[in-house]
Amino acid sequence: MRISEIYEKKSKTLSFEIFPPKKDRELENIDETLSVLCELKPDFISVTFGAGGSSNCNRTIELAKKIKYEYNVEPVVHLTCLSYDRAEIDEFSRVLNAEGIQNVLALRGDRNPNIEEKDDFKHASDLIAYLKAKNRFCIAGACYPECHPESENRVTEMMHLRGKVNAGAELLLSQLFFDNDCFFRFVEDCRIAGIFVPVIPGIMPVINAAQIKRMVTMCGASFPARFQKIIDRYEDNKDALFDAGMSYALSQIIDLLTSDIDGIHLYTMNNPTVARKICEGIRNVI
């Protein structure tokens, strides 16, 4: 099923993001995680894509197939384009079509000095337009409530985001953030800019301080004071950080759900306990 159809039918969705294991043999152990995640009945699960290298995309597709055919949940395959040419994207699309995978999150990908960039696709919108012209995928794009780190300002960022939607993105999945007001302002700006597709907030519960700091240095999300206090007080106390981080994420999600948003996309970090606890906390509100 195309996930755009899910958004047409449901007022609020719940979805998860997972990443493929680094080694092929670990793919066999992912069932433990998947069985818990899929029991929670997400509307879809998106599978990340490593930057560059065919073994990366193979593992992403293998995992997406598993989700679709063994667990009967709709997968969304992430696909980056900076280090691929048209022929490689065509081959990737061919495999997706052959496997019956209908949903793609089309991304530019981060710049990496160790991976060669090719000339065919400079921006995610180039990939979206290309995929759209040749396939029947439902295409999602990424968005950044606190601006992409390379953006000059919010106005040009919005123009480029509108370009992505005009090229064919049917929904937008957001970068993680910890301040809901940023997200609400961002959605308002999207609507003012004429972007009317669903904008789904990405939430990542904090369970590991080192990991979250790394993520935030990379993606530029700001820490509200209430959240910073949790990090400062509990970063050296694993169990306390888990409890406080889960509680913060839950309160963020409930605030989003009580506002007029289209769904929640949970960055699970392949941790089924986190996903289960979040789902238990919102069972009666979503």
Pick the closer one to ligand FAD by CB: 28 or 152: 152
Indicate whether 49 belongs to the interface with ligand FAD (CB under 6 A).
yes
Contact criterion met (CB below 8 Å) for 158 and 190: yes
> Among residues 36, 51, 257, 286, which is the contact residue for ligand FAD, using CB under 6 A?
51
The binder of ligand FAD chosen from 31, 32, 85, 150 (CB under 6 A): 150
* Measured distance CA(202)–CA(253) in Å, rounded: 10
Q: Which of 5, 110, 181, 260 binds ligand FAD (CB under 6 A)?
A: 110
How many Cβ atoms are within 10 Å of 87's Cβ, its own excluded? 9
Written as six digits, the tokens of 234 are: 């509990």
Cβ-based neighbour number of residue 48 at 10 Å: 18
Binding characters for ligand FAD, 118-137, by CB under 6 A (x = yes)? -----xxx------------
- 173 contacts 140 by C-beta, under 8 angstroms: yes
Within 204-223, which residues bind ligand FAD (CB under 6 A)? Answer: none
**By CB under 6 A, what part of segment 239-258 binds ligand FAD?**
none
Is 63 or 246 the residue whose CB approaches ligand FAD more closely?
Answer: 63
From 24-32, 47-55, 64-72, 191-199, span contacting ligand FAD (CB under 6 A) = 47-55
- With CB under 6 A as the rule, give the number of residues binding ligand FAD: 23
- Which of these is catalytic: 5, 8, 17, 150? 17
Q: Give the list of residues 6+ apart from residue 74 with CB closer than 8 angstroms, or none.
A: 1, 3, 6, 43, 44, 45, 67, 68, 102, 103
Contact predicate 122/163, CB 8 Å: no
CB of 119 to ligand FAD, least distance (A): 15
HSE at residue 63, side-chain half, CA atoms within 13 A, is: 32
Q: Is 62 a catalytic residue?
A: no
Residue 272 binds ligand FAD, judged by CB under 6 A: no
Q: Phi/psi class of residue 109: alpha, beta or left (left: φ > 0; alpha: ψ in -120 to 50)? A: left
CA dihedral 57, 59, 60, 61 (to 10 degrees): 90
Q: 284 near 257, Cβ under 8 Å?
A: no
Residues 53-92: x/- map of binding to ligand FAD (CB under 6 A)? -------------------------x-x------------
Q: Residue 190: which of 169, 151, 162 has the closest Cα?
A: 162
Interacting residues with ligand FAD between 163 and 192 (CB under 6 A) = 163-164, 173, 175
| Binding residues for ligand FAD (CB under 6 A) | 48-49, 51, 78, 80, 107-110, 123-125, 142, 148, 150-151, 157, 160, 163-164, 173, 175, 202
Which residues belong to the active site?
Answer: 17
